[in-house]
Amino acid sequence: MSETVEPAEPDRPAAGPVTNLVTAAVVVVLGGVAFVGSLRLGVGSASAPGPGTWPAVVSGVLVILGVVLAARFRRTDDAEPFTRAGLLVLVAVASMVAFVAVVGTIGFEIPTAVLAFVWLRFLGREGWRTSIGISVGATVVFYALFVGALDVTIPHLL
């Protein structure tokens, strides 16, 4: 019986306190901006939640987690430094911003399919057929769920 030996992961230095503090600050700022945006949507009340209720809860948790990370920035030594691979996260965020920017104008079908395709093919490195199939399939499922079944008022082409 032969055993498969996993390749050793190269030793990478910890990110360091400055990187940890910057990361915590980014999380707090993003959570704060999202919280302000959710308040603009209207959070409603416990008995009648508004459209901003869940975004407010999630963004509030982000702020709290960012503050905790900032308080522990010197003791966190398991974080890796930023590398070129970390740029994929920026590409993912930029693609989401582009999605949000165009969905109100052209509907959600095309941006949803394109976003799913970009994430699968270029960020996830899936094959062309898999990326196209899942992108189209996911868009159809989202359309059926949100527009057909739940009657959500989102911009759509059909």
**pLDDT of res. 13:** 62
Residue 86: strand, helix, or coil:
helix
Question: CA nearest 25: which of 75, 79, 62, 57?
Answer: 62
User: What confidence tier does 28 reach under pLDDT thresholds 50, 70, 90?
Assistant: very high
What one-letter code names the amino acid at 35?
F
H or E element: which one contains 112? helix 109-118
User: What confidence tier does 29 reach under pLDDT thresholds 50, 70, 90?
Assistant: very high
* pLDDT tens per residue, range 41-89: 888 888 888 888 888 999 999 999 999 989 988 776 666 667 777 788 8
How far apart (Å, rounded) are the C-alpha atoms in residues 80 and 39?
34
Residue 150: how many other CB atoms lie within 10 Å: 10
The answer to whether 52 and 59 are in contact (CB under 8 A) is no
Label residue 59 exposed, middle or buried (CB < 10 Å: 0-12, 13-18, 19+).
buried
The answer to whether 103 and 126 are in contact (CB under 8 A) is no
pLDDT of residue 7 exceeding 60: no
Euclidean distance between the first and the last CA atom of the chain, given in angstroms as a whole number: 58
> 149 is written with which tokens?
């079944």
